[in-house]
Amino acid sequence: MAEINIMSYETVALDDERSALVIIDQTKLPSEVEILHLTEQKDIWEAIYLLKVRGAPAIGVAAAFGVYLAAKQIQAESYADFYTKFKVAKDYLDSSRPTAVNLSWALNRMEQVVLSAQDKTVPALKALLHKECVAIKDEDVWMCRQIGEYGLTVVNDGDGILTHCNAGQLATSKYGTALAPIHLGRERGMNFKVYTDETRPLLQGARLSAFELFADGVDTTVICDNMASQVMKNGWVQAVFVGCDRVAANGDACNKIGTSGVAILAKYYGIPFYVCGPTSTIDMSIEKGEDITIEQRPAEEVTEMWYEKRMAPEGVKVYNPAFDFADHELITGIITEYGIARPPYTQSLKEIFQKKQEAQKK
């Protein structure tokens, strides 16, 4: 069992009394659990950009809290003045990372609160924004649990599960997306054997997924990314669960770099490959994976990070995309909080959103 049980910490929280966004600095894990209290917008922007807070749902929650804290500080006499200043803060946070759709989704949702309340006073607007950001977090917890419930329907007790990157509690408010079935199953006494790809170059699998799974008492084995094929060939994997940062209308799923390769391997070995994510991560305005903007990260993440000495020649070119996408033809199912979408995704994803609309009417 891990010495520090990371599962007892909140990944993202709001300290309204101190006007602070409270996060775990994930760049320090697993060796150090440092809790940051961020009150300045530049520090919140930097925390998102530098992956101190990461994972599409957690980024969305952090952005919602962040823009609320910005709004809380706005001094304005009129609605127009308030909205102008709010929009500046919203656009600033929205510029921190381009690929994870939850960032803009949460900020747009917060902006819609302001746009829908033009007759309200400035104090009333701030109160509405507080209510909305808290709701976004509460919905995230509910969403993760639902994904866990649906995910448990496609695996059996004792199965081997492979995952890539970290789409667990450290990427959300609770449970996670890809790891939600595992954590929820563990609560119910189920025992899975989980293989976590280390996930180069930032090692989210080795540092984060393994950390939280081990803390939760899950049978966990870390493997290098290039070992996934051998583990599958050995017959140790019955399902693959991965998260997602943006899903296109045709089912192409953008996730941490390396996910595409895992999907191809799973297809070759006949292993079900599931993408787990909330409907807020599905972007029906994007037709296909090729249309998703892929974030390019600094070369130093590949050549220097984690090493005592530089591990590549000075001046050599480095290609460091943060994401790739699994082609929809490789995906067995997309597990959402409103059910599991299956091929053809152009139809099933629309049906998922119809279920969502019907549920919200009740």
The residues that are catalytic are 245
Here the contacts of 302-311 (C-beta below 8 Å, separation 24 or greater) are 302/200, 302/201, 305/201, 305/202, 306/203
Q: And the tokens for 195?
A: 């293989």
Cα–Cα dist 245/167, whole Å? 10
Kindly state the DSSP code that residue 282 receives in the 8-state scheme. Answer: B
Cα–Cα dist 131/160, whole Å? 41
Q: What is the dihedral of CA 78, 80, 83, 85, to 10 degrees?
A: -80
Q: And the tokens for 322?
A: 């943060």
Cα–Cα dist 200/220, whole Å? 18
CA 245-249-252 angle, 5° bins: 55
Q: Is the dihedral of CA 110, 96, 240, 285 positive or negative?
A: positive
CA 164-302-212 angle, 5° bins: 35
Of 24, 16, 40, give the one whose Cα is nearest residue 171: 24
- CA dist 33 → 52, 197, 198, 208, 252 (Å): 12, 22, 20, 11, 35
Cα–Cα dist 32/25, whole Å? 9
